[in-house]
Structure 1
Amino acid sequence: MRIVQINGGAKGSTGKIMMGIAEVARAQGHEVMCASPITTTNRDAGEDCGYYRIGTFNSRRVNVALARITGFNGCFAWIATYKLLKKIDEFKPDIIHLHNLHDSYINLPMLFSYIKRRHIATVWTLHDCWSFTGQCPHFTMVNCEKWKDGCYDCPQYKEYPPTVYDNTKRMWKLKRKWFTGVENMTIVTPSKWLAELVRKSYLKEYPVKVINNGIDLEIFKPTPCDDMKCVWGGNLNKFIVLFVSFGWSVYKGLDIIVELSKQLTDRYQIVVVGSDDKTDALLTDNVISIHRTQDQEQLAKIYSAADVFANPTREEMFGMVNIEALACGTPVVTFRTGGSPECIDAKSGIVVEKNDIEGMKNAITQICEKQLFRKSDCVNRARVFEGVKKYEEYIELYEKIG
């Protein structure tokens, strides 16, 4: 089987998923072509980087600028898309697997017109809600449901992917026109929560399958960490409360962390990972801040050192940080937000209502002081999300629809 995958990046969380699927597919004898745009993170990657690079760095900047000015996201990049489709034609795929298509690196009407004309079986993994809104990838924070019948007067049009003025009404109609009517397309979501939203959107004509995101259990596992606990916890006398995100904001609950740092007693040490200088300026002095790290083995050590992992997120498709913590034997407390509660079960964590600071504080103290959960149960829960098994689910889907 010949498979094409297209994503907005070859790195980061969605990039790892794309490349992980490709690795497993090739190991099973399939041929795979991956394609991603040239960005600041892969600008210097050579031709042997393992994927087809869409467009040029400067053309991407021009296309992004045009989208910002006009509000027509995905309506430019004609030359880059023409060359990509020519490359796909030469490859002659049995399956096209789409991932993130937003932020102007590809011409959406050209791409979907090609898929419809060629009658190619298609899988589209939705990593957020952008595919069925006029613009935004998330809308739970603003409690917006206009996406169900047609976007307009968007309260977030200046947010990612930002535009100068609100063009969401026209873009919602255009995206509905482009994205519907594909002969053989299956939508994949990482959570049941997102799947239910898809079934309420204009994409409801397609079958929807839930394939959770997976993790590498060879990296994320209980790891010796007494040295970290001694440094953070004062010779192991403090409970370590860990928060991890790869971009802190009110959406991820930074303000909740600040409030908890004021309410928890000095028996608790809060550790925040994924911060930067801007985040540090907002945190209280009693919080330990660890700036962003790409070292996953160090991250596994940090997870293992914690007594509890807390996730005060207000917008979440699934919650990979929850699973990473569980894999390292650390129980989780999370807000009831998006797909985040789906990561845990009754033996590995507690779900509290969104924005319930008192509830989160109580859950943290109960987990730490009453030792409600066993490390082994947390690790067992994480095994459900083993990465290779999740990638194999995609291969099974390809073989079913291809």
Structure 2
Amino acid sequence: MTRPGDAPAIEGRLGAGRYAEGAGPAVGGVVTSVHELTTVDGAQVTGVLRVPSGARTVVTLMHPRQDVTNHALVPYLLATGHAVWTQGSRSPNNDLNLLHEQAILDFAAGHAYLRERGFDHVVVLGHSGGATLAAFYCQQAALAPGARLATAPSGRPVALNDATMPLPDGAVYLAPHPGQGALLQRVIDPSVTDENDPLSVDPSLDPFAVANGFVEAPSPTAYSSGFVAAYREAQAARVRRIDAAAAALVAEGRAANRAFKRSGDAGERRRALAPRIVTVYRTDADLRNVDLSLDPNARPYGSLFGRRPDLTNYGLVGFGRMSTAEAWMSTWSVNTTNADFLRCAPGVTVPTLLLEFTGDQASFPSDIAAFSGALGAADLTVDAVPGTHFGRPLTEDAPSGNELASQVIEKWLTPRFPT
């Protein structure tokens, strides 16, 4: 039975309202095809190509961790006459061993295919973590072979210098967060005292302790500046501790591999092959998700993972929760990753649209200001539309953020890259 004042049943779920609903406009006359591609290092990836009649410009989307085949912007882009390519990775929806240096090889295979198809223009559209992936791709693609990265942060060789990496004609960055490593440092709970115990806590750093200023949800909290400073310093320290553990695991695996090459011993080979997994508890604890006065915008209370970070922080979902040590170094450590939006931005020189959602819970006004100052494009447009990180409307009767974003994207695309 529902009592007066109760929220609808769907809102009772912790993760309710995370993603935008609705399929966008219906579009007819679109030819859809699925393609399997082989990357330069031999991985198999797939992509879905949707082509309205006569389309000469294609917009390509990819995310390092998620399948974007049915991204909310696809029907809006098709409705304006642009073709859309949604790129898959070598391990879709599984980031256990996500190396960004390999992910951009996957992206490169799609870009090369689209050039072979003969489109007049290829424009990359990166949303959220896909924006950092796209910036990383643009940065590396702009370099001549031989000047690109030769290894991942773990030392694993990567074939970027052997890859065909066509530079896109333009780039759209929608709600870009700063990169998965920088994002994780923001959301990681520094009060964890034992990496093997998900319930361990240092009370002085507990973000959800009343003694530290937390106010029970959904009332916004107002932390003291002293607590915020200590908290952020402790977040960085926890990441450094995990960095050290990951580096030790990588060194252990590489030593076993060297021993196998010397001896040929099967036991050493087993030691080299054994997965070295980094488990990170409690990664939904960005103070800004409950203290709306920090880096203020129009965001609602709550995080990307739900309306109660004080609860979801202890749950299964979250960033960087489980990965190989190599993936930690490539993707989740702000200190070792190459996929950092701010560091990649100067290498992005193609015409660029940087588009903010004004109620974003992961990309904040200070981020957009920093990104706009760092991007290397001479043709740079910075704009904003109402919406949350995944494009939901800010109010019940408002158009979705994705619908509003599509209008800005179309206005930017058409003069530069006609359909």
Q: What TM-score range do you get, normalising by the shorter chain?
A: 0.3 to 0.5
The structure with the greater share of residues assigned to helix is 1
TM-score (norm 1): 0.40
TM-score (norm 2): 0.39
- Where relative contact order (Cα < 8 A, 6+ residues apart) is larger, the structure is 2
